[in-house]
Amino acid sequence: MRTVKEISRLTYENRLSRRQVAQSVALARASITDYLRRLEAFGLTWRAAAALDDVTLERRLFPSACPDLVPQRPEPDWATVHQELRRKGVTLMLLSHESRRATRRAISTVGSATRTGPGRAAAIW
C-alpha cells in the first residue's frame, strides 16, 4: 500500500502526470489510473490515504482481495473425484463443468426460493 500512497502523493502534491508517476514507481499507466480511480471513488485525498494504515487502506481500495470478505467456493470431495476419474470417458474438465452447473443451479434455486416463496423454486427447474 506504500505504492498507492506514493502514487497519490506524486499525483496530487507534486502534480506529476500519470506517465511521470508510472516511471517513478515502475508501474504501468493503467495501474496508476486504476489506483487513482479507486482513491477518487472512496473520496480519499493523498493526505487521507497517507494517514491510513496499510491494512485499512487495502480493505477500502480492494475489498474483494480481503479473504474474510470473499465467499469461498466449496471444496470438492476429492475421493469422489478420483473415483469418477477412473470411469471411462470422464475427464477432470467434465467433472468441473458438472460441479459448476450444480453449484449454479443450487444458488439460483435458493435465490428463486427467496423471491417466489418456498415450494415454488422446484417448479422452475
- Structural domain including 52 reads 2-65
Contact 5, 58 (CB under 8 A): no
Q: List per-residue pLDDT tens for the chain, 125 residues long.
A: 788 889 999 998 999 999 999 999 999 999 999 999 988 888 888 888 888 888 888 888 887 755 554 456 677 888 998 999 999 999 999 988 888 887 776 555 444 444 444 444 444 43
- Full-model pTM: 0.51
Domain count within the chain:
2
Check whether residue 47 and residue 98 sit in a common domain. no
Check whether residue 83 and residue 115 sit in a common domain. yes
The helix (H) or strand (E) run that includes residue 33 is: helix 29-41
| DSSP for 73-119, written as a single string | PPPP-HHHHHHHHTSTT--HHHHHHHHHHHHHHHHHHHHHHHHH-TT
